[in-house]
Amino acid sequence: MKSIQTIAEMREALESKRAEGAKVGLVPTMGFLHEGHLSLIRQSQQECDVTVVSIFVNPTQFNDPSDYENYPVDLEKDLNALEKEGVQFAFLPHAKEMYPANRLKVQMTIPELTGNLCGLHRPGHFDGVLLVVSKFFNIVQPHRAYFGLKDYQQFLVIRTMARALDFSVEVVGCETVREPDGLAMSSRNARLSEKAREHAALIPRALNLVQKTLQDRKAQYSVKCAELCEIAWDVIESGTQNRVEYMEIVDPDTLQKLDEIQKDRTARIATAVFCDGVRLIDNRPLQF
């Protein structure tokens, strides 16, 4: 594996690969890799000839400075994991490389997809995501880029951006990888105490209970989303270390909030929860 820190070197390293007709896969990460990241890498390895994994804790997507400062980092462990997976390139740019001080700032936004969920509660977050991912797409010029569906809003925003700006990349959404108790894998999980970890497991249980409630209501034509959200909210906050930031059921394509789910329609329930001060997100599809 080759570790690269500059944009120029990254472009040069891929130029010969592309000339040989190699299909390039990109897995953008902020490091502190876990099994969820590795599942994206393995899919890229299966579907592409060359895989580039970027590790960059992007300062422009943090609306809370303390969250940025406390983001877990273990570069040595990450690089060892990438070596074991047979990754060809690790792209490790510094913030000054990605955002030179002498450049004017560029702002990117897709208001239609960022007015609720995490977009509402983390002002500027997706502007930073769009900026850094568009830069990675331009630098690496991948054929495919892989993102986990745990961050469903992020996936939809990035896919929309890629299509709107005519990037020749297929944005691939990969299913959420979970712990044995159902908790979605996240780098933030490492910050949970043992007790908080038990309470965090209520999040996937609550979302699954919503799907079960829908199945039990099959005789009805529709079910009010407010009722379903209240069920999930109460389950999560039965854990004393949990505080729900938002709980919404949305259209899976537009992310518009739904008032009700009608029979034979799909939807998605999404939530953000502070568990002992650590912000966790999760979502799942709903079928009625």
Q: Express each pLDDT in 119-131 by its tens digit.
A: 999 999 999 999 9
* Ordered DSSP codes for 140-207: H--SEEEEEGGGHHHHHHHHHHHHHTT-S-EEEEEPPPB-TTSPBP-GGGGG--HHHHHHHTHHHHHH
CA-CA-CA-CA torsion sign (184, 186, 188, 193): positive
Helix (H) or strand (E) holding 249: strand 242-250
CA-CA-CA-CA torsion sign (126, 127, 131, 132): negative
Q: What is the rounded average pLDDT of the residues 36-58?
A: 98
Domains and CATH numbers, the chain: 2-174 (3.40.50.620), 187-283 (3.30.1300.10)
Amino acid 96 reads: K
User: pLDDT tens across 133-182, in order?
Assistant: 999 999 999 999 999 999 999 999 999 999 999 999 999 999 999 999 99
What mean pLDDT is reported for the chain? 96
Lowest mean pLDDT among 64-73, 160-169, 227-236, 260-269: 64-73
Answer yes or no: 143 catalytic: no
pLDDT at 70 over 90: no
Q: What is the rounded average pLDDT of the residues 248-255?
A: 97
The residue from 37, 125, 143, 199 that is catalytic is: 37
64 band by pLDDT with thresholds 50, 70 and 90: confident
19 band by pLDDT with thresholds 50, 70 and 90: very high
Is-contact 148 36, C-beta < 8 A? Answer: yes
**Which tokens go with 116?**
């609720």
